[in-house]
Structure formats: C-alpha cells, structure tokens
C-alpha cells in the first residue's frame, strides 16, 4: 500500500495525538482522530495553559501591588477579579483550541467525537457521543456514519494517545465538595480563604503560588524531605524559601495520618505527630494515572506495566504490530512537550521512517513564582554517573536585566565534566528561566564545551546573559563573578 493511502486512527486529541495526526496527514496519510472531549487534551483544557494563564494574572497583580518599588502608585486597593480571570483563561484556551481545529481542517484530519476502543487488529470501535460540544463546532463534520451509536473504523496503524488523569487515592472521599483534584480546582467558583495542598510536586507548587497571591492561606504537605523531590536539592531549598516568604506554610517530611472530618465548607486532617489542619479546600496532587481503562488494550493484547502504563520501545511501538502509544499513557515523563515529540516520532515511523524518541535533554520546568527549570544532569546526577563535575554559577542579583525587572532572586548553574569541559546540564531559578533553559538544551545536544558556549555573544541586557556568565564561570572566566 502506498504511503498516501495509509489509514491511521489516533485515540486522543491532546498534545501528543493532535500533533501526530497533523504530521501524518501532512505526509499524505488518511487520519482520523477520536476524542471524547475538547481538542487539546489535559494540557490545553485542564492543565498547562489554564494554570499558566492564571499565574500570569497573579504575577501582574503582584507587580501592581508593588508599584511603589517601580516608581508609581495605584489609587485604591488592587484586588483580583476571579470571574474575570476565569474568563480570560477560557478566552486563551478557546483561541488555541480553535487553532487546532483550523489545523485539522487544513490538513484534512477527520475528527470523530466519541470514546474509542481497540476491537481487533486494525479495528477501532467508537461510541459516538450524541452531541458535539460547542468547543467542537468548528471541527470538520464527522462522516455520516458518526451519527450511529457505534462507528467502526479500520486502520493500517493506530496511535494510542489517551493521556492521564489525576490520581484519586481511596484514602480520600472525592465526593466531598472540600476535596478537589487539579482539574476541579481550576474551575472553582470563588477564591478559597484557605487551601491545604497534599503533594509538593510541580502541580502542588504552582497552585500554591497562584492562590497565595490571591490572598488564600496556603499550606503544602509533602512526605519527602524537600518540595519538588525530582529537582536539584539546592534549587528546591531556595524555591521552598521563596514560597515561605510569600506566606505559604511548607511542611516537608510530613505524613498525613487521617482525614478527621469532612464538611461542605471545610476539611480537617491529622498529621503525623498529632497536629490538625483545617482548610476550606484540599487539593490532592499526589500523582497521575494513565487513561487506559476501557480502550481495549486487553482485547488486542497490548502489554502494560504493573501501574497500567503501556509498554513501548524507542520507536513507540507496543507489543502488538501496528499499534503505537505516545505521551502520558506510556509513563515516564508526563509532559506535553514529550508527548508532542513522541507523536512526531510515531507518525514518521508509521509512514516508513526509522526514528527513535530522544529524551536525553528534556527541559523540566516549574511555572511558579519564581520559575524553576532544569535540563540534563544536575551536579549530583553527574557524580552518580561517574563524571567529575565542575559547576559555574551566576546570580540574578548581579544581572542588569533581572534587576531592571525587579526580579533579582535566583541563579543559573551549569554543570560540566572536569576532564573534557563538556556541558552536562543546567539548573535555573528565577525570571523567565523556563524560556532560557532551551539554549542549554541545544548546547547539550550539540555536545558543546562550557568554554565554547561561554564565548557565544549574548545580547545585553537579557536574562540569557546569566547563562553565558555561568558558562564562563565554569572555567573561572566570568568577569562579573567576584573572586
């Protein structure tokens, strides 16, 4: 069968699924996406974009309140309008969602609104939803068969991109109005007076920063010795200090023993040691789980691990020929940018390519206030892998652009191999580091040495200069580092 005639069905229209679909369609494939909700998946509708839009709002709020430090005054009290913030969030999400529909239309990707399941080799059955939501109205109209209750799709290849959802431990009663996951908290009707967050990972920390700026009394409870357990210890410690300066109570190495009382307007818990905490709302942010139930994996024999994540090789092939899986549903990095990368790899491989996913230099970002970013190896990671690491550091407190922005908190640290000077990784905390981390990712991919990187001219004044200065500091060559 020629490449142009290849039929592909994609289960899921999130950042992995829709990217794979468009890539394959642009290469001549006949592509159908099956999606039970609005296009864009968790990232666009219930995760990345909504949270960053709200955090951008409270960042402006904080700067307005600090107007005197910037040389201006604001008459009257600066207060948040939560309803307007929610409306702006929906406007941003809607604009991006409509953009995906437009891309589908131009690439001739067909969209079926329904729940898909693998029914046999090359066969997907779709429980078609009776109505398409308003968000789907600009999508290409489904074929006539989509009006049937069950639509049968045949394909040469299937890509499973069904994503993940918040983990709901049975320890908590999620039917109680005071207990929420991240999806529910995003659409809460009013700002809570107090918020207890269980889990100090990126999701918990971002919500803590958001609601603390809105005036909510926030407490984070984390079982492990530091917030952001996967991050560099020094960065996590400084981030934790920054949160405490915002009035956020941070309890690490703390176990929740029991939920003492549920009420419609509050929840009370008991911690290890006997302390009780009461909050109007409780966010449970202790992990995510794959959306694999009811999609027919067992019917066709797709192998999964003990947690239900689909097992794939580096080409994103599952244990069943012709079935691929990408993104959160495969475990590992539960990140939208990884899902998109894997979507491109899977689409190319289906159409005759021989690509493997490359996750060596995946940027890891925490979009808090301040931001934190990492790529490659930390100093401890490098040592554990047998390198003799050497570091270079530059503080934002000595950087012109950071001080001009009024954001001199934080630093950039680069890690290099002592023997070869090759760059191994970077950790950053401070303004816009989730943007500038990518130039280090490029340098790592290129195998650059710290000295070579440090000699690349950076514009002045910019936040990116701190990365150049840190690279120079690896070899003691930064003129702006004392000593």
Active site residues: 460
SS (HEC) of 192-227: CCEEEEECCCHHHHHHHHHHHHCCCEEEEECCCCCC
Give the whole-angstrom CA distance, residue 53 versus residue 255: 32
Contact 436, 464 (CB under 8 A): yes
Nearest to 34 by CA among 145, 165, 187: 145
Q: How many CB atoms lie within 10 A of CB 253?
A: 10
Give the whole-angstrom CA distance, residue 208 versus residue 172: 20
Q: Order of strands across the sheet with 389-395?
A: 364-366, 371-376, 423-430, 411-417, 389-395
Give the whole-angstrom CA distance, residue 402 versus residue 409: 8
At CA 249, angle to CA 244 and CA 252, rounded to 5? 100
Task: Classify residue 108 by burial, with Cβ atoms within 10 Å: 0-12, 13-18, 19+.
Answer: middle
The neighbouring-strand residues paired with 282 are 179, 196
Give the whole-angstrom CA distance, residue 172 versus residue 185: 16
How many CA within 13 A on the CB side of residue 74?
Answer: 14
DSSP 131-149: S--GGGTTSPPPPGGGGSS
Give the whole-angstrom CA distance, residue 184 versus residue 195: 13
**What φ, ψ does residue 208 adopt, rounded to 5°?**
-60, -45
Give the SS3 label for residue 352.
Answer: coil
Give the whole-angstrom CA distance, residue 318 versus residue 160: 10
Task: Classify residue 104 by burial, with Cβ atoms within 10 Å: 0-12, 13-18, 19+.
Answer: buried
Beta-strand pair 217-221/194-198: parallel
């Amino acid at each position: 069968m020629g490449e142009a005639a290849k039929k592909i069905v994609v289960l899921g229209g999130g950042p992995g699924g829709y990217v794979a679909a468009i890539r394959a369609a642009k290469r001549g494939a006949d592509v159908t996406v099956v999606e039970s909700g609005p296009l864009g998946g968790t990232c666009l509708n219930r995760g990345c974009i909504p949270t960053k839009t709200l955090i951008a709002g409270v960042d402006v709020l904080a700067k307005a309140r600090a107007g005197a430090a910037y040389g201006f005054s604001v008459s009257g009290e600066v207060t948040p309008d939560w309803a307007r913030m929610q409306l702006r969030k929906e406007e941003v999400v809607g604009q991006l969602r409509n953009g995906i529909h437009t891309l589908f239309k131009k690439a001739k990707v067909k969209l079926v609104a329904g729940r898909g399941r693998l029914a046999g080799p090359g066969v997907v059955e779709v429980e078609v939803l009776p109505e398409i939501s308003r968000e789907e109205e600009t999508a290409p109209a489904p074929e006539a068969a989509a009006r049937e209750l069950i639509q049968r799709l045949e394909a040469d290849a299937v890509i499973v991109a069904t994503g993940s959802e918040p983990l709901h431990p049975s320890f908590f009663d999620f039917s109680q109005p005071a207990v929420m996951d991240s999806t529910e908290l995003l659409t809460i009707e009013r700002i809570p007076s107090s918020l207890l967050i269980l889990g100090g990972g990126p999701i918990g920390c971002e919500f803590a920063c958001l609601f603390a700026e809105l005036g909510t009394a926030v407490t984070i409870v984390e079982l492990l010795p530091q917030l952001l357990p996967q991050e560099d210890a020094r960065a996590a410690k400084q981030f934790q200090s920054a949160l405490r300066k915002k009035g956020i109570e941070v309890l690490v190495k703390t176990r929740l023993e029991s939920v003492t009382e549920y009420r419609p307007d509050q929840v009370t818990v008991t911690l290890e040691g006997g302390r009780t905490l009461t909050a109007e709302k409780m966010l449970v942010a202790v992990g995510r789980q794959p959306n694999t139930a009811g999609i027919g994996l067992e019917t066709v024999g797709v192998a999964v691990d003990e947690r239900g994540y689909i097992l794939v090789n580096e080409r994103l092939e599952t244990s069943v020929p012709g079935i691929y899986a990408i993104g959160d549903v495969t475990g590992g990095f539960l990140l939208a940018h990884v899902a998109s990368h894997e979507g491109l790899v899977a689409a190319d491989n289906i159409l005759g390519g021989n690509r493997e996913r490359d996750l060596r230099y995946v940027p890891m970002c925490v979009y808090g206030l301040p931001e934190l970013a990492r790529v490659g190896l930390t100093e401890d990671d490098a040592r554990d892998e047998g390198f003799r690491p050497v570091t270079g550091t530059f503080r934002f407190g000595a950087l012109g652009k950071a001080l001009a922005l009024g954001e001199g908190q934080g630093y950039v640290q680069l890690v290099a191999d002592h023997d070869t000077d090759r760059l191994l990784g970077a950790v950053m905390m401070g303004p816009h580091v989730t943007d500038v981390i990518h130039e280090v990712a490029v340098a790592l991919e290129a195998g650059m040495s710290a000295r070579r990187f440090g000699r690349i001219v950076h514009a002045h004044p910019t936040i990116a200069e701190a990365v150049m200065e840190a690279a120079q500091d690896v070899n003691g060559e930064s003129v702006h580092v004392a000593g």
